[in-house]
């Protein structure tokens, strides 16, 4: 079975690339171009024909023979004009070929993975690179995708397998004296592997935040200006602004770039007592959102008395903001020196730049980025933590009578470490990973 798809973004453009991969790829290329002989890795200019010998378009096509292609199978790329009509009709023509169908999301990359052209770690990093919006995200994706990163995990796994082989040799050829020396000789090696893995985990701190964005919740009482503030930060109307209390019922999100970092702002429901079922649900969502927020903006109307119950949620990763300072009448706030509030007026655009600077500073202070990080997902962290757990279990066993149990601990450590790159059966992960890919990738 061969698969095909548009590999470039849909929409009108100067160029569109349509990719075909599989056993039928070369036959399809010969039929559509009417070329009798096609050399691999040569760009050919040609007319492209449908089954009734009518010209679809004129352009370039390139054939990549297996295994020297992206997917590891025969691949043909047709470079046509980026017209919606041309692309649509070209795909219709391809669908008429026997044993040829439209590719599923990420199926080209999944085929490359199954053909061992790339590993699981590189596949995940590829989608991170495609989806990257900031320089930090781009560099992190490339760093994890690099072959050197794969080598780090492979070397650690190889070292564990060598120790496991020693243990299994003792089990097969039982000898108390040899068994005791195996424990002794490999203990330092296991400790070094454990320390190396712990170092990798430590350096990965905040890698998930770089990939998904730093979460900043705007919280406060009703009518304090939360919706107006998020609209101001996003520079577009993302949230409804109204004088009616409780207008915001759901979480409204807007993303902006701050110092090369993706920051996701959430406009939340005003915190107050309410009998309205829908509003109560919105307040509940606000409470849940606070638990996963990296930073909290406590926004109050400076003309109103500050609700100390809301302020109890204030911590080191919080900023107090007093809005509507363009209105001269205000309620005196006696804790200015403790909370160091930033005074703004969203309506008059007063103090907004100072607030943005403070948000950037808070993120920089609390979320350091390590340039040596080789982890991008929580899945990787979990696998490494499990590896450390089983290594530590193994280290607690120091008697020949426990050699079989120690070997089992090491097997589980090797398995968990192998899950990162994809050495073990990870079928359950594949659908979850590749659902985020576009169809042409």
Q: How far apart are CA 302 and CA 263, in angstroms?
A: 26
Tokens 């103090």, located at residue: 351
pLDDT, tens digit, 9 for 90 and up, residues 233-285: 888 877 655 454 444 445 688 888 888 888 999 887 665 555 555 545 655 66
State the total domains in the chain: 3
**Is residue 426 situated within a structural domain?**
yes
Percent of the chain with pLDDT over 90: 51
Q: How far apart are CA 56 and CA 50, in angstroms?
A: 6
**Is residue 233 situated within a structural domain?**
yes
- Point out which residues pair with 49 in neighbouring strands: 55
pLDDT, tens digit, 9 for 90 and up, residues 99-126: 999 999 999 999 999 999 999 999 999 9
Length of the chain counted residue by residue: 441
Q: Which of 27-41, 290-304, 401-415 has the highest mean pLDDT?
A: 27-41
pLDDT, tens digit, 9 for 90 and up, residues 336-346: 777 889 999 99
**Is residue 111 situated within a structural domain?**
no
Q: What CATH number should be reported for the domain holding residue 70?
A: 3.30.1360.120
The more confidently predicted of residues 271 and 387 is 387
Neighbours of 351 (CB within 10 A): 18
- Is 64 in the same domain as 198? no
**What's this model's pTM, rounded to 2 decimal places?**
0.74
The more confidently predicted of residues 294 and 286 is 294
**Is residue 66 situated within a structural domain?**
yes
**Is residue 113 situated within a structural domain?**
no
Instruction: Give the model's pLDDT for residue 335.
Output: 75
Mean pLDDT of 405-410: 92
Instruction: Give the model's pLDDT for residue 249.
Output: 44
C-beta separation of 179 from 230 below 8 A: no
- The mean-pLDDT minimum among 217-226, 261-270, 288-297, 431-440 falls in 431-440
- Is 259 in the same domain as 358? yes
- Is 228 in the same domain as 330? yes
- Is 148 in the same domain as 217? no
Query: Domain residues for 29?
Result: 2-103
Q: What CATH number should be reported for the domain holding residue 233?
A: 3.40.50.300
- Is 342 in the same domain as 216? yes
Give the dihedral of Cα atoms 198, 203, 206, 210; nearest 10 deg. Answer: -130
Instruction: Give the model's pLDDT for residue 19.
Output: 97
pLDDT, tens digit, 9 for 90 and up, residues 124-157: 999 999 888 888 889 889 999 999 999 999 999 9
Tokens 């363009």, located at residue: 326
Q: How far apart are CA 268 and CA 211, in angstroms?
A: 23
């Amino acid at each position: 079975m061969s698969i095909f798809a548009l590999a470039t973004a849909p929409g009108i453009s100067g160029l569109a690339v349509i990719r075909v991969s599989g056993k039928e790829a070369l036959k399809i290329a010969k039929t559509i171009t009417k070329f009798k002989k096609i050399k691999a890795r040569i760009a050919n200019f040609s007319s492209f024909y449908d089954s009734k010998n009518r010209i679809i378009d004129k352009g370039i096509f390139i054939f990549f023979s297996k295994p020297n292609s992206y997917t590891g199978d025969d691949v043909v790329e047709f470079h046509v004009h980026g017209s919606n009509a041309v692309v649509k009709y070209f795909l219709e023509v391809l669908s008429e070929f026997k044993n040829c169908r439209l590719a599923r999301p990420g199926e080209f990359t999944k085929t490359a993975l199954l053909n061992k052209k790339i590993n699981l770690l590189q596949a995940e990093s590829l989608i991170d690179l495609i989806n990257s919006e900031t320089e930090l995200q781009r560099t992190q994706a490339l760093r994890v995708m690099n072959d050197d990163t794969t080598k780090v995990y492979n070397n650690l796994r190889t070292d564990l397998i060598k120790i496991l082989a020693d243990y299994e040799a003792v089990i097969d050829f039982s000898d108390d004296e040899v068994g005791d020396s195996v424990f002794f000789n490999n203990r330092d090696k296991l400790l070094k592997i454990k320390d190396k893995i712990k170092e990798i985990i430590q350096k990965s701190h905040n890698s998930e935040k770089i990939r998904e964005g730093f979460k900043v919740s705007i919280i406060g009482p009703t009518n304090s200006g939360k919706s107006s503030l998020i609209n101001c930060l996003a520079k577009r109307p993302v949230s409804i602004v109204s004088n009616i209390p409780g207008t915001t019922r759901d979480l409204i999100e807007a993303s902006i770039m701050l110092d090369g970092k993706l920051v996701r702002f959430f406009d939340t429901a005003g915190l107050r007592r309410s009998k309205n079922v829908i509003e109560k649900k919105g307040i509940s969502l606000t409470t849940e959102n606070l638990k996963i927020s990296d930073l909290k903006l406590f926004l109050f109307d400076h003309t109103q008395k500050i609700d100390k119950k809301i302020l109890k949620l204030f911590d080191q990763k919080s900023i107090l903001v007093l809005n509507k300072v363009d209105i001269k009448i205000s309620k005196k706030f006696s804790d200015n020196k403790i909370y160091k509030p930033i005074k703004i007026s969203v309506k008059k655009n007063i103090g907004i730049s100072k607030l943005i600077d403070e948000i950037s500073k808070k993120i920089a202070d609390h979320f350091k980025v390590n340039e040596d990080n080789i982890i991008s997902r929580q899945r990787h962290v979990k696998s490494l933590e499990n590896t450390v757990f089983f290594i530590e279990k193994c280290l607690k066993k120091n008697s020949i009578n426990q050699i079989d149990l120690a070997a089992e601990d090491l097997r589980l450590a090797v398995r968990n470490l192998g899950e990162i790159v994809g050495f073990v059966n990870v079928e359950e992960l594949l659908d979850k990973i590749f659902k985020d890919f576009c169809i042409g990738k």
